[in-house]
């Protein structure tokens, strides 16, 4: 593909209004090779030769050398760099050398496990792997095959969910695997962050504990996209030392990375055309020109909207192409997702619109272009999504379309900062009491907990076990903790993708109450409240009723030209201050806080135009949870200046809160939706003007701690963002928030600048 010619073509079209604000030309790069300390077994080398692999890249050779020496390895290199060989080769070598050796591969999704199964069978083919040696074991595995897999499987491909639910609680049935476990592979380790990563960290410790019971001590090989703390992250996940391999030796075909900023449609308010509207003609042009493409959107709703827009446009321009694009996201049935993956791999589809469900390393064939509808929230995810095109070493295109929010517009105005900025830290918090307590109960079900287990689970084990005993879940006997009578199979009550195990189902009231999707309880009130428009596979459903005790929403297919956005009110109180420090010209605090959230209504927004079509009130229960927060005082000098200039203090606090939350993902690997904030001109507990930033999950996952650590850098970036925005009164690009429960009122941009300058002592 001639990437430059296609960009010139875009510039000649009627819809182009100068949206291309920057093009970064990433050059072609030749491969760098490394050598193994000793040759591979002839059978393995022959398989590599037949696959056209004559030499290993430098990171592959180094990882294999470390694994052979008995070390644990974290391989942190970009997408499509050949990380799979870093674990397949040492694992297959161990099977050739020791017929009793076993390996466990863990992937974050079933689709990725199926994809890697194909890769492993191709490499291990006849002569190395026998029928039945390799198998996937997950929720889709037929019951009649499971006992055979336990007996014959030498390499088991699974996921943390099944390890948690099916393997560890039934470890005696898996004794052949666990007693002889030589390797554990944890692929796509950057995905294991936040709540999910904190659960996985506990599961890895449960696995190590059961392996030790059987007398095995497996080596761990973890692979990750590039993050700021890969070695630290691997050690946090598994609890053992790791050797880091992060020098990428793979070749690169080159890429033109395009920053695409939607045009301003309201000069006074500095409002830009929606990114969805920009993605539609862009993706349509790519499909029309036969350029195989993948578009990423941040939410399920946007995936469906963009798919509908592009499909309908293709019907008008070239009807034969309308069937060659499909949406792909979590929530679809497994068989639907597998079918779409196959169609992409075979080339039946020219394009797909997806959530991050396709961000991972599933091989879906050669793609030429990726369209990122909005900054994905982190440098790491951006490169991961961009890396889905150009995987065959050929030139490729990536378009990053800026949303009307602070983080996206920060990069649209400072594109060079994106390319020189360090990757973010992946954060986990295994000590989160909601998470650790649940897994200690699971561990006690597997084997009684003993004092020596603190070396695995941490110093908080005894205090948490005492708390579980007080709840009647554990019972102490002979210096050990046992599951209390009446407690049965606790793993089934732990949802490792959420702090809470609860979820709501959506039923189609017009189709015999057929279940069409599930939604986490934590976001149910904001997504499936009565009156909400919910999109499923390109169709709009109106939520007619929400049965809260039954955790069920009832929906009917509808045809409306609007979508809905929930409005909520948040209150915060300080439960316990843990620490404080001076920063700039003020004091910053970190501690435990209680958050109360109430969804009070929703707004109808017209598709394409984003105009408000009406507001509705709701009467829903308040949700309360304990989390971790940082908060800070406002310097007196800034308060006096705001008063002297007759500015709105509450509006300034509110604006600074929004902008700070919008930029915190620059420093921690998280999404804006993982963070919450509250600002007040006089907090009811302290009596002071304050801004709070908190983790949006019960117990916290480390985001507030990282913000506390880097708070002055956060203030600096926030001040630069607000000052450099060309709007006069504040806009979505700087201080307005799309999820503000108060409809972005009040906001005062000038007061926010004074406040941020005061915090930094300017």
Write out pLDDT tens, residues 718-732: 999 899 888 888 887
Residues 307/327, Cβ–Cβ less than 8 Å: yes
Look at residue 608 in the predicted model and tell me its pLDDT: 65
Is 70 exceeded by the pLDDT of residue 501? Answer: no
C-beta separation of 543 from 301 below 8 A:
no
Exposure string of 417-439, with b = 16+ CB inside 10 Å and e = fewer, is ebeeeebbbbbbbbbbbbbbbbb
Tokens of 158: 């699974």
Assess whether pLDDT exceeds 90 at residue 34.
yes
Q: In whole angstroms, what is the distance from residue 63 CA to residue 222 CA?
A: 10
pLDDT at 189: 92
Statement to judge: residues 23 and 38 lie in one domain = no
Long-range contacts of residues 511-519, Cβ cutoff 8 Å, at least 24 apart: 513/554, 516/541, 516/555, 517/331, 518/331, 519/553
Q: How far apart are CA 259 and CA 423, in angstroms?
A: 19
Domain count, the chain: 5
The predicted model gives 602-623 an average pLDDT of 86
User: Within a domain: residue 540?
Assistant: yes
The contacts of residue 208 (CB under 8 Å, 6+ apart) are 238, 239, 240, 456
pLDDT for 609? 67
Would 616 be classed as within a structural domain?
no
Compute the distance between CA of residue 86 and CA of residue 432 in angstroms, rounded to an integer. 32
86 and 226 belong to one structural domain:
yes
Closest alpha carbon to 71 in 212, 192, 238, 210 = 238
pTM: 0.78
Write the pLDDT tens digit of every residue in 563-604.
888 888 899 999 999 999 999 999 999 999 999 999 999 989
pLDDT in tens, 513-536: 999 888 878 788 989 999 999 877
Asked, for residue 386, whether it belongs to a domain, the answer is yes
- DSSP string of 233-285? HHHHHHSS--EEE------B--EEEEEE-PPEEETTTTEEPPHHHHHHHHHHH
Is residue 210 domain-resident?
A: yes
Specify whether 65 is located in the same domain as 196. Answer: yes
Work out the pLDDT band at 78, boundaries 50, 70, 90: confident
The answer to the question of residue 425 being in a domain is: no
Residue 224 domain-assigned (yes or no): yes
Query: What is the percent of the chain where pLDDT is above 70?
Result: 96
Domain-located, residue 521 = yes
- Specify whether 238 is located in the same domain as 309: no
Residue 315 and residue 241 share a domain: no
Q: Which of 155, 139, 140, 71 is nearest to 105 (CA)?
A: 155
Q: What is the mean pLDDT of the chain?
A: 90
Q: How confident is the model at residue 329 (pLDDT cuts 50, 70, 90)?
A: confident
**Residue 717, SS3?**
helix
Task: Round to whole Å and give the CA distance between 540 and 300.
Answer: 12
| CATH at residue 453 | 1.10.10
pLDDT for 381? 83
Say which residues have a Cβ less than 8 Å from residue 663's Cβ, sequence separation at least 6: 406, 407, 410, 714, 717, 718, 721
**Structural domain of 453:** 433-493
**Residue 412 and residue 279 in one domain:** yes
Residues 12, 55 within the same domain = no
Judgement on whether residues 75 and 141 belong to the same structural domain of the protein: yes
- pLDDT tens-place string over residues 438-454: 999 999 999 999 988 99
Query: Based on the domain organization, do 442 and 536 belong to the same domain?
Result: no
- Is the confidence at residue 497, as pLDDT, over 80? no
Helix pair angle (42-50, 84-97), 10° resolution:
140
Look at residue 743 and tell me whether its pLDDT is greater than 80: no
Q: Per-residue pLDDT averaged across 210-220, rounded?
A: 97
Q: Check residue 228 and report its DSSP letter.
A: S
**Would the pLDDT of 550 be above 90?**
yes
User: In which band, very low, low, confident or very high, does the pLDDT at 500 lie, cut at 50, 70 and 90?
Assistant: low
Please name which of 592, 630, 629, 591 lies closest in space to residue 711, comparing C-alpha atoms.
Answer: 630
Among the candidates 245, 267, 294, a domain finishes at 245
**395: helix, strand or coil:** coil
Residue-level pLDDT at 299: 80
The last residue of a domain, from among 493, 517, 536: 493
CATH of the domain at 39: 3.40.50.300
Q: Which of 365, 391, 387 is nearest to 376 (CA)?
A: 387
Q: How far apart are CA 618 and CA 599, in angstroms?
A: 7
Asked if 114 and 164 sit in the same domain, the reply is yes
Helix axes 749-759, 711-724, angle to 10 degrees: 150
Q: How far apart are CA 132 and CA 149, in angstroms?
A: 7
Q: Judge if 390 and 512 occupy the same domain.
A: no
Residue 167 pLDDT > 90: yes
pLDDT tens for 102-128 read: 999 999 887 788 888 888 998 987 789
Q: Which two tokens stand for residue 508?
A: 């189609």
The whole-angstrom separation of Cα 759 and Cα 632 is 9
Pair 280, 233 in one domain: no
Domain boundary among 245, 265, 288: 245
Given a cut of 60, whether residue 737 has pLDDT beyond it is yes
> Is the residue at 566 inside a domain?
no
Q: How far apart are CA 302 and CA 353, in angstroms?
A: 9
Torsional sign, CA 648, 651, 653, 655: negative
Region for 52 from its dihedrals, namely left if φ exceeds 0, alpha if ψ lies in -120 to 50, beta otherwise: left
């Amino acid at each position: 593909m001639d990437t430059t010619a296609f960009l010139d073509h875009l510039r000649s079209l009627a819809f182009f209004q100068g949206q291309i604000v920057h093009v970064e030309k990433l050059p072609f790069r030749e491969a760098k090779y490394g050598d193994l300390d000793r040759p591979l077994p002839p059978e393995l080398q022959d398989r590599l030769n037949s696959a056209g692999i004559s030499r290993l890249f430098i990171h592959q050779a180094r990882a294999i050398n470390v694994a052979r020496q008995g070390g644990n390895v974290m391989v942190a290199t970009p997408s499509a760099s050949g990380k799979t060989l870093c674990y397949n080769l040492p694992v297959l070598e161990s099977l050739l050398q020791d017929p009793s050796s076993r390996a466990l591969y863990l992937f974050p999704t079933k689709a990725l496990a199926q994809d890697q199964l194909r890769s492993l069978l191709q490499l291990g083919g006849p002569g190395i792997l026998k029928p039945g040696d390799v198998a996937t074991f997950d929720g889709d595995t037929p019951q009649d095959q499971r006992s055979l897999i336990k007996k014959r499987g030498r390499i088991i491909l699974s996921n943390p969910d099944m390890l948690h639910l099916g393997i560890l609680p039934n470890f005696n049935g898996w004794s052949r695997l666990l007693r002889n476990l030589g390797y554990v592979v944890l692929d796509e380790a950057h995905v294991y962050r936040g709540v999910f990563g904190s659960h996985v960290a506990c599961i890895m410790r449960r696995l190590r504990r059961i392996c030790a019971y059987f007398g095995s001590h497996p080596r761990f090989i973890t692979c990750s996209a590039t993050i700021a703390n890969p070695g630290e992250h691997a050690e946090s996940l598994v609890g053992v030392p790791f050797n880091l391999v992060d020098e990428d030796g793979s070749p690169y075909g080159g890429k033109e990375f395009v920053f695409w900023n939607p045009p301003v449609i309201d000069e006074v308010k500095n409002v830009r055309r929606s990114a969805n509207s920009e993605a539609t003609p862009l993706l349509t042009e790519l499909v029309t020109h036969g350029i195989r493409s993948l578009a990423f959107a941040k939410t399920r709703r946007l995936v469906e909207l963009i798919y509908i827009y592009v499909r309908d446009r293709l019907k008008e321009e070239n009807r034969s192409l309308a069937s060659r694009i499909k949406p792909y996201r979590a929530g679809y049935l497994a068989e639907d997702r597998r079918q779409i993956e196959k169609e992409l791999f075979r080339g039946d589809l020219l394009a797909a619109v997806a959530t991050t469900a396709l961000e991972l390393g599933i091989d879906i064939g050669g793609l030429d272009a990726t369209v990122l509808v909005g900054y994905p929230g982190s440098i790491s995810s951006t490169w991961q999504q961009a890396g889905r095109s150009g995987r065959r070493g050929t030139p490729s295109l990536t378009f990053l379309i800026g949303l009307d929010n602070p983080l996206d517009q920060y990069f649209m105005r400072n594109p060079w900062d994106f390319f020189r900025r360090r990757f973010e830290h992946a954060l986990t918090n295994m000590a989160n009491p909601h998470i650790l307590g649940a897994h200690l109960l699971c561990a006690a079900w597997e084997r009684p907990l003993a004092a020596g287990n603190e070396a695995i689970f941490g110093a908080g084990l005894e205090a948490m076990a005492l708390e579980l005993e007080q709840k009647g879940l554990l019972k102490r006997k002979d210096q050990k903790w046992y599951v209390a009578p009446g407690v049965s199979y606790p793993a089934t009550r732990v949802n490792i993708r959420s702090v809470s195990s609860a979820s709501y189902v959506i039923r189609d009231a017009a189709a015999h109450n057929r279940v069409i999707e599930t939604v986490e309880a934590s976001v149910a009130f904001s997504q499936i409240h009565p009156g909400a428009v919910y999109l499923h596979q390109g169709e709009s459903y109106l939520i007619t009723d929400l049965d809260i005790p039954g955790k069920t929403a009832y929906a009917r297919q509808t045809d409306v030209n609007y979508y809905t956005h929930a409005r909520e009110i948040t209150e915060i109180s300080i439960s316990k201050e843990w620490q404080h420090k001076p920063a700039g010209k003020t004091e910053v605090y970190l501690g435990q806080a209680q958050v109360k959230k109430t969804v009070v209504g929703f707004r109808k927004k017209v598709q394409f135009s984003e105009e408000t079509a009406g507001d509705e009130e709701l009467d829903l229960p308040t949700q309360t949870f304990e989390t971790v927060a940082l908060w800070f005082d406002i310097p007196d000098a800034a308060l006096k200046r705001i008063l002297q200039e007759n500015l709105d203090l509450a509006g300034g606090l509110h604006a600074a809160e929004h902008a700070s939350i919008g930029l915190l993902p620059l420093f921690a690997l998280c999404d804006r939706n993982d963070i919450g904030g509250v600002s007040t001109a006089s907090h009811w507990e302290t009596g002071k003007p304050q801004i709070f930033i908190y983790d949006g999950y019960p117990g916290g996952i480390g985001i507030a701690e990282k913000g506390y650590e880097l708070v002055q850098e956060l203030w600096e970036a926030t001040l630069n963002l607000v000052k450099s925005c060309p709007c006069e009164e504040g806009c979505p690009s700087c201080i307005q928030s799309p999820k503000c429960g108060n409809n972005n009122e009040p906001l005062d941009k000038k007061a926010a600048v004074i406040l941020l300058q005061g915090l930094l002592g300017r």
